[in-house]
Structures are given as C-alpha cells and as structure tokens.
Structure 1
Amino acid sequence: MRPLPPHPLKRRIARGLAFVAAAAAMGLGLGPASAAPLPDSPVLDRDFADPDVVKVGGTYHAYATNGDGKHIQHATSRDLKRWKADSRDVLPVLGGWAAPRRDLVWAPEVFATGDGFAMHYTAHDRASDRQCIGVALSSSPDGPFRPVGDGPLVCPAAEGGAIDASSYTEGGQRYLLWKNDGNCCGTDTWLHLQPVTWDGTRTTGDPVRLIRLIRQDPTGEDGVVEAPTLVKRAGQYVLFYSAGDYRGDHYRTGYAVARTLTGPYTKAAKPLMTTETLSGAVHGPGGQDVVTGPDGRDRIVFHGWLADPRRRVMYTAGLGFANGYPVVRGSKVLYQAENALVHHAAVRDAPSASDGRAVGGIGHADSHVEFTVFTAAAGEHRLSVWFGNGSQDGAGSPVEATHGLTVNGRTAGTVRYRHTGWDRWSVVDTALALKEGWNTIRLSKGEYYAELDGVEVA
C-alpha cells in the first residue's frame, strides 16, 4: 500500500459529525420535484438581469438591473414561479452624485431595516468617473426608493470603484459585500466584506478582502469575479459569486467556503453552474441570489441569456447542501472526495488533483469513501470517478485496482481502475441506477490501492 500520512481518529470523528449535521440539514435541501424546480425555463421571460429577491410577508419582491426604461426593475410573486412585473420605476431618481445614465444603474440589493426598506444600487459617480454604490430608502418594498446621502456609500476610485452590493447579517450586525471594479482599469479585482449600520446608510468599519477568492485569474475566471452572495449552512460560510464575461455563454456561478466569516475562503475546484453543467438549459448563468422558498427550502435565483430578442431572463432552481457544499438541481457537480465521509482512509495533499487534495490509504478491509449526491430524477445515471492508480504486483508490474460500489446501501458492482501512476489522475465511467433526490454512493476497498479525487453524476 502506498505510504500516507497517519489518519487520526479525531479526523474520522469530526468528519462523521459533519456528515450527521449535513444529513440533518438535508431536510431543508432540494426535496421532491414539486418543491425544487429545475431551471428548464425562465420564471420571468423579460430582460431582468442580476436579480435580487426579498420576501415580505407572503410576497416575494424581485429587483433587477436597469431595463424597460427604468433605473431599477421590480416584480412580485407569491410562489417564486409566477411573477408580475411592476410598471413603475422603483428608483425613479438617482442620488445627486450619480450621472444621469440609466444604462449604468446595476445590481440592486434590497433588505428590511425594521423601519422600512433600504436599497443599495450601483451607478456612475460624477466626481471619480467610476461605478460606485449608493443608498436609497423606502417605507415599502414596492418603493419608490429615494436616495440618501451626499455621495456614494462605497467608492474606492483608485481601485476602479465599487459594484454589486449584497447584504449579510450575523449576530445583530449587517455587512455589505461588494466588488472593487478593477476590471474597468487594469487593476486587481477583489470581493470585500464591510460592516455597515443596520439601515445600510453608513459604513462602520474598514472593508476586509476575502482572501483566496481575490485576484482576477485569467486562466480560471476569465479575469472577472463579481456578484457576491453569502450564506451560512451547517456551520460553514458559502460565498457564491459570478465569473467570466457576462455577455455570453462563458458567464458562470462559482462558490468558495470558509469556517470563519472573514476567511480564508477556499474556492471550489469547478464552477457550480455553467452553460455546460446545465446541459444548455440556461446560457451564461450568473448574477445569483439565494432565497427561502414557500416550502422553507433554499432556492437559487439567477439570470441567463435568451436570444431573439437578446435578453437576460430570470430562473430559479432548487438549492441543497451535500456535506455543507452547494448543489443546484439540474446542474452537474463534481463531488470532491475529501469533502465526502472518509472512513479508515486519509485525506492528503495532492497538487495535481482537482483542488489540491485527494483521498488515499483506502487499504483496510473497512476503508471506504461515501459520497452524498443529488439527482433530479430517478433512473440510470452515469457515475464518473476521478482516480489515480500506481499499484504494482509482487513482481513490480503495473496492475488494475478496484473498488466495491454500493448505492443507497445496496451492492452495485465493482469499479475498475487502469494503471495510471500515482498523482496521475484519470476518469472511469460506470452506469448506475439512482433515485430522485439524495443518494449515497460508497466506494470501498477492493483489489490493490486506487486513490480518489472525486466523482461526478450526470
């Protein structure tokens, strides 16, 4: 067996507890098809980019980037499925600091303050010639929202300005998330977290750069990270964001996770939603928000492109969390082995693996790695297993390795891994029957000693 670092008992216990907590949280997960929609058609078929959704009483209010002759668009729904667009501009007047450019009013964020409602919006600052974030207030979620303050709330001109405000609250403190718009002018782009007053009209501390999500990455993010949305699930912070060129199919939604509010945040190895992972049902998914549905379960709300006329329309999809990591109903997901339930095996650093870690030491009779995966419908699915196999027989010759496969507690055959060498990752596909909703897939010790990077279900 390939030598590996020791696998302490406390790690197994901690992972077991995390799995139990996540399993309990699954009751608030994706659920049956009637409760957790697939993003197979828009819920609002009009130009409605960067949707933000807030629930007030029994009514959902959605706000969006400029369109239809309005600075900020507004629509309402009782069920997140059927929406009625507002004929009025809920932000009829911009702050005096903002240039009168309707086309540069973007990405609203609305929240209740206790005395009414606040809106953070992006507009063009006259003084700095940059996009910056302003504030407007209203007594009603229907508006009209009226600007407050003599200038923008956040406007780091030397860093390209600020866009894409989002709100997060914890322990009675409100925080503003935002992006410095370095893409405008060749400087680094970061996502920030900054404390603000409860009504969102003033900052009360310095911004914190959410490290390890930070710099624009031309190879991985097409030079753009933006549109932050922060939630906390099963004791873990999940920071959703959009990346890539918003103008087409390469726009996508990613995420990063952290154990503390200010990080460090670790970016997922692959995006959460892309045109490809959604099998072309949505083109360029991004501008996301997370909201609780009428059934108490999470939804992700986002836009995607349609043609003729070309527009960004609004979609919703069921959102769940497998062992604390987000899964969107209808979007293929790579489940990392190190985030699964690991028993009598070891998580190790593996620089060439998909996110720099893998599971090895699956060499004991009771060794296994158990994945919790979600499927949109019952039937046959393709399981893709990312593996590495450097096993040799007693004569030093390369050999095939295997794992036993069980699905939802039942034996489902054997997965066979050709010889690749250690730290040389490949993929093998196998067909298996899965039920609608959550499934457990276990890969157990077989012949020789294959290591696991992750699995994908399609």
Structure 2
Amino acid sequence: MTGPGRRRAGAAAAVTAALLAAGCAGEPTPSSTPEDNRVFTNPVIRTDAPDPQAIRVGETWYLVHTNSGGRNVPVHTSPDLVAWTAAGDALPELPAWADPGRTWAPELIQLAPDRFVLYYTVADRASGRQCLGRAVAATPLGPYRDDSTGPLVCQAELGGSIDASPYRDTDGTLWLLWKNDGNAIGVDTWLWSQRLSDDGLRLVGTPTKLLKQTEPWEGSLVEGPFFHRHDGRLHLFFAANAYDRATYAEGYAVCAGPTGPCVKAAENPILRSNEVASGPGHASMVEQDGRTWLLYHAWPPGQEGSTDPGRQVWLDEVVWSDGKPVVKGPTQGPQPRP
C-alpha cells in the first residue's frame, strides 16, 4: 500500500493495543457459526491487519501483515485459514539503520526446514525513504533477525522501494518483486523483479521493470505485486489506486517469465468494491487441497481511511476459467471452508 496510508499505522496501533489489553486480539477470530463448522463468513481477521500474506508450514498457517499494536511485524497462526490467533511480533528488533513505526507489507518464504526469510518495508534513516530489508529465522514465528548494514533495495531517487514479495519459480530460482514508491514524490510507480541468491539474502544481476500504472482504474499507482503460476502460466497480481478509497482494487497480468514481458488482463480489475467491502486489495494467494484462495484487506463500506476497525482480512476462493483467475468475492455470506 502507499506511503501516506501506512503513516496512519501509528493511530491504528493504538486501537489494536487496546484490543490486546482487553484480551480480544489473542483469541481465534469467530468467523464460522457454532452450528456449522463447515462454513465461514468474512472477514476472517476483524481487526486492522493490512497487507496480509500467509505461508503453510506443517499443519499450521502463518500470516504476517503491516505494523500495528506496537509490533513491527504482527504474526497470526491458523489451522484452517479461517480461525486466526495473534502470535506476537515476528521482527521484535529492527536493524540499526532503520527507524520504527513504518514497517509495512512483510512477506515470508521457507528456503529450508529450519530457514525462513522475511522481506519487509521499513523507514531507512539515511535516505529518509521507505526501503526494503530482509531477516532470517529458524522458525516461521521468528524472531527474525536482520544483520545487514543497510537496505536490500532502496531506490531513494524513485521515491523509495516498498512491497517486497519473494517467489520461487518452478526451476528452483528465487526472485524478488517490489514497487518503487513513485507516488510519494510524484513520479511513475513501476513493479520490478530481480533474481535472488540461493540463500535469499542478496540480489543477483540487474533489476527489470515489469509494468506501471497505465489504465484508468489504476489511478496514479500500482503496488503490492506477487507472482503465481497456474497450469504453467506466470501471473503477476497487483493492487492499484488510492489505498483509502473505494477505487482501490486488484488486477493481474500474464508474464512470459519472471523478467517479463507482462501483459495486463483486459478484464481488470478482478476484485473491486461492492456493498460489503470497500477498497479490496494488496492480496496474496494460497492453495489448499486443490483449491486456490485469495487473502486480502478491505475496509467496511463508508469507513475508508479509518483506524477502527481499519483494513480487515478477507478470504475468498479463486476459480480458474479458461486459464483466467476469477475471484468469488468480496463475499460476506456463508461459504465452504478451505
């Protein structure tokens, strides 16, 4: 999500802290009815949890999101993608070069049974911009530690670098996606990709521009990218438009490979506001038992930009029609659990 939006995280943090003090945030989210545990209803996390991403390790899902409640990288756990329990701060200490309060859009990847890498956006003290860091832990819960002496990516002259997303392709190569935060200084917002070293800690080669804002629905920016392959085709999903408006939405492109070229889908956006959710986007995709699901945040209609409840986490199924992703949402009625 965009820089100005994330600066509201401090106010949102106070709300979440109050929930924690009241003993609310640590309980599983009551997303299913007691009468029928085969269904659930959205949202699956009802407190402010922007920019969600989740991975599965063993029988447990681990979800991280933008800072809140005094935590740099809040982490939640779930057995089923529906009932989530707050599980602390995955990144309790920031590196010496970073300032607290603006730790955005974290994403996890598992590289070995006991090696997990967290990529995150953080305030770089030297440049005054948002830049990308990486941290390592032996378990998905952390604590992750960033031993670097500076950012992994920091395009200060392009507004900064945000929204890192790691991806392992089918040939085993590792890649990193991100956005230059051009809207912070009034320039274009590009989505970039670059090869990662096998340990996930260094960039290899040169970065590639994949796409920027060009369509009316995208407004002045694109952001929140991630890759997903389906039936051999590489899809680049992204959010676009102002984070605190109903016009915020999710779209995708099809890419020839991790360095492009990429062609945007004619049917974009594939996830947009409706009567139950406003400004849905900054998504991530997971698969469970042969089904595909989209995790994303959205505001309650009419409460865009507010901090209570803020951007809640929604879960909706994605079906593939002629190779194209179709999101069955935003949906607030009962639906089968993953």
Contact 2:174–2:195 (Cα < 8 Å) also in 1: yes
For 1:303, give the aligned amino acid. H
Please give the residue correspondences for 1:210-249 in structure 2 after superposition, counting only pairs within 5 Å: 210=210, 213-214=211-212, 216-217=213-214, 219-249=216-246
How many residues align? The count is: 291
Deviation at 1:241, TM superposition (A): 0.3
CA distance in 2, matches of 1:36, 1:130: 46
Deviation (angstroms), 1:281: 2.1
Matches within 5 A, 1:371-382: none
Deviations for 1:364-392, whole angstroms, at most 9, x for unmatched residues?
Answer: xxxxxxxxxxxx99xxxxxxxxxxxxxxx
Say if 1:289 and 1:300, in contact at 8 Å, map to a contact too. Answer: yes
What is the TM-score of this pair, normalised by structure 1?
A: 0.60
Q: Secondary structure of 1:272's match?
A: coil
Matched, 1:122 2:117: no
The residue aligned with 2:59 is 58
**Higher RCO (CA < 8 A, seq sep 6+):** 2
Q: CA deviation at 1:258?
A: 2.5
SS at match of 1:146: coil
1:37 deviation in Å?
7.6
Inter-partner Cα distance in structure 1 for 2:117 and 2:189 = 26
Which residues of structure 2 form unaligned runs of 5+? 1-35
Match for residue 142 of structure 1? 141
**1:303 and 2:297 matched:** yes
The residue aligned with 1:159 is: 158
Deviation at 1:247, TM superposition (A): 1.2
Equivalence for 1:272 = 270
Consecutive unaligned residues of structure 1, counting only runs of 5 or more, are 1-33, 333-375, 378-458
What SS does structure 2 have at the residue aligned with 1:320? strand
- What letter corresponds to residue 197 of structure 2 in structure 1? T
Q: Deviations over 1:307-364 (max 9, x none)?
A: 48241111111112111111111369xxxxxxxxxxxxxxxxxxxxxxxxxxxxxxxx
C-alpha contact 1:64 1:72 (8 A) present in aligned 2: yes
Is the Cα–Cα contact under 8 Å of residues 194 and 259 in structure 2 kept in the other structure? no
Instruction: Tell me, in whole angstroms, the C-alpha distance in 2 between the residues paired with 1:36 and 1:129.
Output: 49
- Do the aligned partners of residues 66 and 53 (structure 1) sit closer, same or farther apart at CA in structure 2, a change above 3 Å counting? same
User: Which deviations, in whole Å up to 9, do the C-alpha atoms of 1:132-171 show, x marking residues without a partner?
Assistant: 0001111111111111210010111111111000011121
Deviations along 1:21-52, one digit per CA (max 9) or x if unpaired, are: xxxxxxxxxxxxx99988x5201111111001
Q: Is the 8 A contact 2:271 2:329 kept in 1?
A: no
> SS where residue 90 of structure 2 aligns?
coil
5 Å matches for 1:284-433? 284-293=279-288, 295-306=289-300, 307=303, 309-330=308-329
Check whether the contact 2:188–2:221 (CA below 8 A) recurs between aligned residues: no
Equivalent AA in structure 2 for residue 318 of structure 1: E
> Which whole-Å deviations, capped at 9, do the CAs of 1:217-253 have from their partners, x for residues lacking one?
4733110100001111122111110001111312111
Q: Report the residue type matching 2:118 in the other structure.
A: M
Corresponding residue for 1:435?
none
What is the TM-score when the length of structure 2 is the normalising length?
0.81
> Sequence identity, in percent?
40
Structure 2 equivalent of residue 180 of structure 1 = 180
Distance 1:43 1:61 in 2: 14
Offset at residue 198 of structure 1 (A): 2.7
Between structure 1 and structure 2, the one with the greater Rg is: 1
* Maintained 8 Å contact 2:253/2:264: yes
Alpha-carbon contact 1:248-1:305 (below 8 Å) kept? no
Match of 1:256 in 2: 253
Question: Secondary structure at 1:158's aligned position in 2?
Answer: helix
CA distance in 2, matches of 1:187, 1:248: 20
CA separation in 2, counterparts of 1:322 and 1:261? 23
What CA RMSD, in Å, does the superposition of the two structures yield over aligned residues? 2.3
Superposition deviation, residue 260 in structure 1:
3.2
Quote the Cα distance in structure 2 between the aligned partners of 1:46 and 1:323: 36
